[in-house]
Chains A and B, each alone.
Chain A
Amino acid sequence: MSTVVLLTVTGLGLGGLYFLVASGLSLIYGLMRVLNFAHGAFLTLGAYVGYQAGRHVGGGASWSAFTVMLIVGTATGALLALLTELLLVRRLYERVIEQVLVTVGVGLGLVALVNGTWGADARPFPAPAWMGRTTTMLGARIPNNRLVCIAVAGAVLVGLLALLNRTHHGLIIRAGVENRTMVSALGIDVQRSFTAVFVIGGAAAGLGGVLAALYNGSVTPGMGDSLLIFAFIVVVIGGLGSISGSAVAALVVALLQQFTNYYGVSGLGDFVVVLALAGVLLVRPAGLFGRAA
């Protein structure tokens, strides 16, 4: 029983990380039809810049340092996304191949920047001592950092849903996901929503970077790319443009991985996730919460 609880909570924590990356990807594609392959690099740089800023506050292993890391990581992701949208992506709407090439290029460039600045080796991620302890739940000793990942991802989910469902800007985004041309034809500058969505997605990725570092206990240049692959799978399974779909799919993917790796063969979880992706594409191509075109 305790093993199941531990796997479940750990899976929820991993799902939270997937959600933070996938939610931005999903909104960006849903509204702008842009596949942002630089999203993983936003996560990586958010983690590294947050890590660097936090180290200057009490050596990094304090709550104030961790708070600084979260804020700086989030801001870094948002700023990178803003610059990418304003300087590059904005000029390439409707040009899918060019978008892919440019965002892949940005992603490679940013990871190279991280490699050049911090080196290719993993660096230990300092965190408050409480994060390294455990909390007993239903007989299982749950690492506290998993609980933090779940709590932060849950708060982001609630915040995004509130933004989408309770604000006028969210109304524009939801309408734009359905038919952005018609949003323009109602007199609304949908370009501003494009920028806002890109920045929100980048901020979530930057925040996810710091949490991923906390989850793994280290920062590595490749951390964003490995999460990005599963985030794309989450987006497709959940349905492009659906935040709720991303949340559900993130949990499904993460729990599948955790349980399969533990009860099956270690490493088999990734394969099972790809099988799940194939199954969803065959049975429901628009994703669990998506809408057929």
Chain B
Amino acid sequence: MNILSVRGLDAFIGGQQILHDVGFDVAGRGVTALLGRNGVGKTTTLKAVLGLVRRRGEVLLDGVRIDGDRTHRIVARGVGYVPEDREIFARLTVAENLELAARTDHPDRQLVDRLFPELGERARQAAGTLSGGQQQMVALARVLQNENRLLLVDEPTKGLAPRVVGEVADAIALAAQRVPVLLVEQDLRVVTRLARDVVVMAEGRVVHTGPAPELLADRDLVQRLLGVHRRTAA
């Protein structure tokens, strides 16, 4: 059973069409990686699913159309979003960032404490003063503390130190045991470790879907679709 189905999705930013007839499914478990070169529309696809950009087409969450809903209603249905560049609230404290994002009175703070113990120590610190890695932890913790049906995670390892990349990948792997994840990721090591399925985009269109190991094992296909050599990327 698919948790997310996208059919005939077009999206527009500033009057320019970015996505063209995009269609794919996200399985009800594990990580589906959304791949492609820079600027092919991966981030726009996540935003279009959430209604953050103007779009037309069908988006179904667990078989129910959500493309007519406003963003906050889509999220309230159980779609957690970790945006590119984190977008934490810099002037709010770590605790306030988490409080703001809690969708119930009883968020799973124990999970957050287990995954990111240093956030507890910095609860009263302004989030804008944290390191990039710590800010990413806040962005993930905001979402993981809630009961979700699907996570949309956009380039969570971008610009992070190798040690922090491992921690972030650990957190996503743990989250993926409980909830399916649609992950935009450039680091093929992370994709190799986490992804069960892949959707590859080029020029605003889906050009390949299938099992992740199948794509990653085909060096020529990786080179052609992603523009990177599998070995050098890893």
- Separation of A178 and B87 alpha carbons in the complex (Å): 10
Q: Which interface class (under 10, 10 to 19, 20 to 34, 35 or more) fits B? A: 20 to 34
Asked, given contacts A171-B99, A182-B87, whether A188 binds B72 with beta carbons under 8 Å apart, the answer is yes
Query: Is A181 an interface residue when CB atoms closer than 8 A count as contact?
Result: yes
- Contact between A175 and B100, CB atoms less than 8 A apart: yes
Q: Which interface class (under 10, 10 to 19, 20 to 34, 35 or more) fits A? A: 10 to 19
Interface residues of B in 66-81 (CB under 8 A from A): 70-72, 75-76, 81
- Contact between B92 and A187, CB atoms less than 8 A apart: no
CB distance from B216 to the nearest CB of A (A): 30
- Contact between B87 and A168, CB atoms less than 8 A apart: no
Task: With CB as the reference atom, state the residue of chain A lying closest to B97.
Answer: A175
Task: With CB as the reference atom, state the residue of chain B lying closest to A185.
Answer: B81
Q: 1/0 per position for A180-191, CB-CB distance to B under 8 A?
A: 011111111110
- Contact between B89 and A187, CB atoms less than 8 A apart: no
- Contact between B100 and A184, CB atoms less than 8 A apart: no
Q: 1/0 per position for A150-185, CB-CB distance to B under 8 A?
A: 000000000000000000100110110011011111
Asked, given contacts A178-B89, A179-B87, A181-B52, whether A186 binds B75 with beta carbons under 8 Å apart, the answer is yes
- Separation of A286 and B190 alpha carbons in the complex (Å): 40
Task: With CB as the reference atom, state the residue of chain A lying closest to B71.
Answer: A184
Asked, given contacts A171-B96, A185-B50, whether A179 binds B89 with beta carbons under 8 Å apart, the answer is yes
**Residue in B50, B72, B75, B92 whose beta carbon sits within 8 Å of that of A175 in the complex:** B92
Where the two chains meet, the residues of A that have a C-beta atom closer than 8 Å to any C-beta of B are 168, 171-172, 174-175, 178-179, 181-190, 291
Where the two chains meet, the residues of B that have a C-beta atom closer than 8 Å to any C-beta of A are 50, 52, 70-72, 75-76, 81, 83, 87, 89-92, 96, 99-101, 103, 142
Taking A171-B99, A178-B92 as given, write out 12 further A-B residue pairs in contact, using a Cβ cutoff of 8 Å, ordered by the A residue number.
A168-B99, A171-B92, A171-B96, A174-B91, A184-B52, A184-B71, A184-B75, A185-B72, A185-B81, A185-B83, A188-B100, A190-B72
User: Lowest 4 A-B CB distances belong to which pairs?
Assistant: A187-B75, A184-B71, A187-B76, A186-B101
